[in-house]
A and B are shown apart, each in its own frame.
Chain A
Amino acid sequence: MSYSLYVFLFTFKQAFFSVLLTVPLGILMARALVWNQGWKPTQFCLKLLGIPLITPALVSILGFITLAGYFFNVYSFTGILLAHLVFYSPFVALFMINSWHFIPEEHYRLSAQLHFSPWQIFALMEAPQLRKSMIEITWITFCLFLNSFTTIMILGGGPHHTTLSVALYQSLFFFYNPTQGLNFAGLQVFLSFCLAAGTTLFKSLPHGSSLKMPALPSLKSNFQKPLVIFSLFLILAPLMVVASFSFFSLSKTLSNPMLWHALSRSLLISGFMGPLCLLLTLALVKYETLFSKPLASLYLLLPPALLGVFLFCISLEWDFLPPEIFLFLMQLFIVLPFSFRLLKGPYQILQMTYHPTSHSLGLSSFQRFFLIEWPLLKKPLATALGLSLALSLGDFQSLAFFASPDIPGLSSLLYMQMGKYNFEESMGTALILLLLCYLLYQLPHWVLRTNVRT
């Protein structure tokens, strides 16, 4: 068997099994959270769901190794699958909960009148309504697993566990072999395109066009409560480990002036890039064309390393452009798959419901935005902004060809400290980075007061 084929099959295998584990668990988590919305632990858990997505991979892996290492050998294929499960199932839940909100309240009332069992409610009523989202999230997570790099290399380094991304990195960033690189990239694009084409085959049921948020009646299901606690554990446990490592050295971490320089640089970048990304997403959602969706999915369709090299080649052609523009573009591509999907659903429903009215009232687009769109889109906008703020803290290894900045941001500082054995100190930096991610992620919600009903 040729090496390319081996790599191709392994990539598919790990992505396939990861999806097989992660998506069902994520859906179960989402359901448990939706069915216990009023419960205090649920509300806490809902605030944390985005955290694994924005945590630097290395930090989560360290937490995972420490915890799971007590129970089994994490440096194995099982280790890779379980790490993916822990890191991505909260994200699946986050995505699915948004779709749950589009199930009309009447459906639940009707199923209660028909004395459906909880299982029947899921199989006959919820699942058909959620089918499209389930298929979409399957595709998204599959693509994310195709691109999984740090996790696979740390837990399963070596030729046995070589994915297309590793092979691509090898031929673009280590040995100079662009042709081989393009071959590997082609294989990966082929995989993600096949699946993307598959998703379009499934027709969605018409969404209930209710915009009364929250649309769900107060559901209660005590037997699902353990799952809520489990989700909380899944998200918090790895983070607690990192926090515990850094606890005693926090004063040392904080007294390092580099930390504060890095912090201010990270804040500056995220403060600029986050809102700008959101604006562009909004424009893409509002003026939707044929290209909006492929553009929004670019980061999932193309391997990030290829995207990075592509951007670098553009920067060579147009060398008058400052490199920050490419950093911004990369970040936009990373944020778009999430923010575009967060905003698209609500915006479409809003158009369907209010477009005729606002048209007949002769509202200007300015008036329409402030009177109709803003109050109703506030919540998804806040989530999208929070995500883009937090995601811009990461360092983008796919932009490796661009020069590293003179002052490192927090994630680069973390790497530098690790590289010089400052284990405790680097964990302190990781903790600060995590806290900052969480604050930035929640900040828009606090400022826009999205918890107040509109």
Chain B
Amino acid sequence: MKRYFILLLLCCSTSSVYGKNLLTIHTYTSFVSPLYGPGAQLKEVFEKQNPDVEVRYIANDTLPILLNRLRLEGERTKADLVLGLEDLVMDSALFEKTVPYASCCLAFTYDSQKILQPPQSLEELIQSPHKIILQDPRTSITGFGFLVWMKKAYGEKATEKWKTLVAHVLTFTKGWSDSALLFKKGEAPILLSYTTDALYHELTEGHPQFKAMVFPEGHLCSQIYAAKTKVTKNNILADKFIAFLLTPEAQNLIVVKGWGYPVSGEIPDSWLKAENYLSPPGAIPFTSEEVSTESKKWLQEWIDGLIK
């Protein structure tokens, strides 16, 4: 009886495809979401070009969860490739090579019907009276990005600036989705988000009510990477997929469905025509090594400064 049970479990757990090369890609949920995200189409196109390959996505909720999973799995991981890595949470110890395939920038989205004269710089935003919805830097990558942004913009004075800012922060949510819901419900007129967020809203909902604030001193931007794991046995296939991501067809999907800026290839016409399209803003310089070594300290500063 026990033997049959184990056999049954084995049948459930092993792959149903035979004779095809399996490429296992770890990524985060919104990349492969059936509602949005370029994952499904990329898989379709790649499998059409390579009929002997099956792409299998394994998705976790967020990028940090995905990385921690890889760290826990160690050598046992089945991942060949990881998609969606950002400079903010890059851990080069886990990967053999990393190739950027898109980029994104943080920005504050605001409701133009409620704020007629938006802040023109980070400083103005900090000094403004408007309520802001942020994400917690300890649970959300956008929230963490803003922590780095503040630190890079103000250095030693960051804590003082945080204290001024926090007086009109409505709340720090766990993830971006929670805060987007509060923003859409009208709880506050400003939301920490991405530069393409207002554009997304205009193109899907049809009206350009939400807009992004552009700060001339620069935004926090991150490259988005595809990374090959050190333990993969599918070297050639993994390289092939990375090369595929840089083809015009794949780049177009990543831009149109994934709302990132392409690394090569064109910005689509629909974007250029839209009122809310922002070309990539100036980026505040930082390195992922610096972030990974200093982040603990910065976070503690943030906590201590705000608790007191």
Q: Does A348 contact B (CB under 8 A)?
A: no
The answer, among A150, A312, A321, A407, for a CB contact under 8 Å with B174, is: A150
Q: Does B304 contact A (CB under 8 A)?
A: yes
Bound-state CA distance A408–B29 (Å) is: 10
Bound-state CA distance A316–B74 (Å) is: 10
Q: Is the CB of A149 within 8 A of B184?
A: no
Bound-state CA distance A415–B10 (Å) is: 32
- Of B57, B169, B303, which is in contact with the most chain A CB atoms at under 10 Å from its CB? B303
Which chain A positions have C-beta within 8 A of B36?
416, 420
The answer to whether residues A58 and B181 also contact, given A157-B174, A158-B306 and a CB cut-off of 8 A, is yes
Which chain B positions have C-beta within 8 A of A6?
307
Instruction: Look across to chain A and name the residue whose beta carbon is closest to the beta carbon of B306.
Output: A159
Bin chain B's interface residue count.
Answer: 35 or more
Which chain A positions have C-beta within 8 A of B234?
none
Q: Is the CB of B71 within 8 A of A176?
A: yes
* Nearest Cβ on chain A to B287's Cβ, whole angstroms: 18
Which chain B positions have C-beta within 8 A of A75?
170-171
Q: Does A155 contact B (CB under 8 A)?
A: yes
Q: Is the CB of A320 within 8 A of B9?
A: yes
The answer, among B34, B72, B204, for a CB contact under 8 Å with A407, is: B34
Q: Is the CB of A423 within 8 A of B185?
A: yes
Q: Is the CB of A176 within 8 A of B68?
A: yes
* Nearest Cβ on chain B to A162's Cβ, whole angstroms: 8
* Nearest Cβ on chain A to B2's Cβ, whole angstroms: 13
A155-172 to B contact mask, C-beta < 8 Å, 1/0: 111111010001101101
Q: A66-B185, A320-B6, A401-B68 are in contact. List 13 more A-B contacts (CB 8 A).
A: A3-B307, A65-B187, A75-B170, A166-B138, A169-B139, A175-B138, A321-B13, A401-B65, A416-B30, A416-B33, A418-B178, A419-B30, A419-B180
Binding site for A on B (CB under 8 A): 6, 9-10, 12-13, 29-30, 33-36, 57-62, 64-65, 67-69, 71-73, 76, 134, 136, 138-139, 144, 166, 169-174, 176-178, 180-182, 184-185, 187, 200-201, 204-205, 295-296, 300, 302-304, 306-307
Query: Can you list 23 contacts pairing A with B, beta carbon distance less than 8 Å?
Result: A3-B303, A65-B185, A66-B185, A75-B170, A153-B136, A157-B171, A157-B172, A159-B307, A160-B307, A162-B138, A173-B62, A316-B73, A316-B76, A404-B29, A406-B57, A408-B34, A416-B29, A416-B34, A419-B177, A419-B180, A420-B36, A420-B180, A423-B185
Binding site for B on A (CB under 8 A): 3, 6, 58, 62, 65-66, 69, 75, 149-150, 153-160, 162, 166-167, 169-170, 172-176, 258, 309, 312-313, 316, 319-322, 324, 397, 400-401, 403-404, 406-408, 413, 415-421, 423, 426
